[in-house]
Chain A
């Protein structure tokens, strides 16, 4: 479902003398449906960079990034938007939302964007928020006022609202208490059982061992390290 071949990435800093910094080279990865692959490597090795390239948030310098039938490295913005709407989900570490929009709507939005009926979308959103222990009295408030941990759970609920066939998870269990961590791991297992191909970054080792089928050390793709 997710296939990377010979992917490389450089940053060119035009305002710092045009310095060219190669950050990734020869990256390859295969993730089948129902499989979860962990990206490992120490901080700064390029785990998030690789994940952002799969999502189309960072431009690859070369190589092929296939998600389903779409090569993210070569696709038009319009095709990537369509891919993100239907196929490719991403739970980042940061919640970015329009201020004032109620939490319930924030979580339901991916479903509404796909044209699901409003009632059904809101119901699904409520189910997820309840599972992630966001008290119902907060659902009509904007998550911008929430604590960091609550925002992270809202972000996770939003990421799992639609059953994406491919899913990227950046530290989904970081800073969660035991109960919420358990819920998130169950959501990951359910997504796998539903046939999702998942790429994840988990610093939490026991979580990684529980949900991931394989590990890929991205240090192998870092120029000058391999």
Chain B
């Protein structure tokens, strides 16, 4: 099977300061990979490089396109990459307001993504938007409300609906449950797990929450100071960490 994503030697400097260095991995269809590390470890820089939001100084990101097989998204033309980010990729931001249009209704936020990939029939767009709002548990009667009137958890679910309505194959998530109440986090985790399984999505989740990756990710990479220090099966890395830094990270978690 061809990996959906093949990442090779991704390196990014901010001036003299290292963002991330020589990161590589393969991600297969249906796989969920977690990237953990503390603030400043380079995990968000890496995610930005993979999703085409930050230009790395070196490396390749080969994405298995529907039409032409694996292609380096870093050397693609800007319109090509933009199209891919509409049809095949999704990006769930930590702060929902970064991924939503706050002045547009909930239904409009979801419908807009459909229109961006060519949907034109108003009734169908509204129908699909309503269907997706239902799937992320936003009540019918809120479809015409703006996200500014939503709670944090609802905004995050709306962002997920907006991202997944076009049936992407790869989802990038940056701290998707960060800043939410624990009970809301649980609801979101349940939702994400179900969607990943039903839609056969591949996902890359950046987080510092080890409980989140244990429940969501098949595989794990641990980053420190811009480098990947350990990688493997999620439960193996968390239960039998090999690197000193991972051992420290795991033993620092408060038990509840």
Contacts and interface: CB of A to CB of B under 8 A. Distances in A.
Given A98-B215, A112-B197, A113-B197, A77 B244 contact: no
Question: When A and B form their complex, which 8 residue pairs have the shortest distance between CB atoms, in order from nearest?
Answer: A14-B244, A99-B186, A77-B233, A58-B240, A100-B190, A77-B219, A100-B186, A98-B215
A57 interface: yes
17 contacts: A11-B240, A12-B242, A14-B248, A15-B247, A15-B251, A52-B239, A58-B240, A77-B232, A77-B236, A78-B219, A97-B215, A98-B190, A98-B193, A98-B215, A99-B186, A100-B186, A101-B190
A56 to B, nearest CB: 6
A98 B233 contact: no
Interface in B51-86: none
Majority SS at the chain B contact face: helix
B187 interface: yes
B243 interface: yes
B239 A13 contact: no
B8 interface: no
A113 B196 CA distance: 11
B189 A13 contact: no
Contacts of A97: 215
Contacts of B236: 56-59, 77
Contacts of A52: 239-240
Contact of A78 (B28, B186, B235, B239): B28
A198 interface: no
Interface string A1-30: 000000000011111000000000000000
A99 B190 contact: yes
Contacts of B243: 14
A215 B4 CA distance: 45
Given A77-B232, A99-B189, 16 more contacts: A14-B243, A14-B244, A15-B244, A52-B240, A57-B233, A58-B239, A59-B240, A77-B218, A77-B219, A78-B28, A78-B31, A96-B214, A98-B186, A98-B193, A99-B190, A100-B187
Contact of B240 (A57, A80, A96, A112): A57
Interface residues of A, number: 22
Contacts of B242: 12, 59
Contacts of B31: 78
Interface string A63-85: 00000000000000110110000
A57 B251 contact: no
Contacts of B218: 77, 81
Contacts of A99: 186, 189-190
Contact of A98 (B189, B239, B240): B189
Contacts of A58: 236, 239-240
Given A56-B236, A98-B215, A14 B190 contact: no
Contacts of A78: 28, 31, 219
B186 to A, nearest CB: 4
A103 to B, nearest CB: 13
B235 A57 contact: yes
A12 B214 CA distance: 22
Contacts of B186: 98-100
Interface string B223-256: 0000000001101100110111001100100000
Nearest to B231: A77
A56 B233 contact: yes
A12 B248 CA distance: 12
Contacts of B244: 14-15
A8 to B, nearest CB: 14
Given A96-B214, A99-B186, A13 B247 contact: yes
B82 to A, nearest CB: 31
Nearest to A49: B240
Contact of A57 (B189, B239, B247): B239
A15 B240 contact: no
A80 B235 CA distance: 11
A80 to B, nearest CB: 6
A79 to B, nearest CB: 10
Contacts of B240: 11, 52, 57-59
A45 B98 CA distance: 53
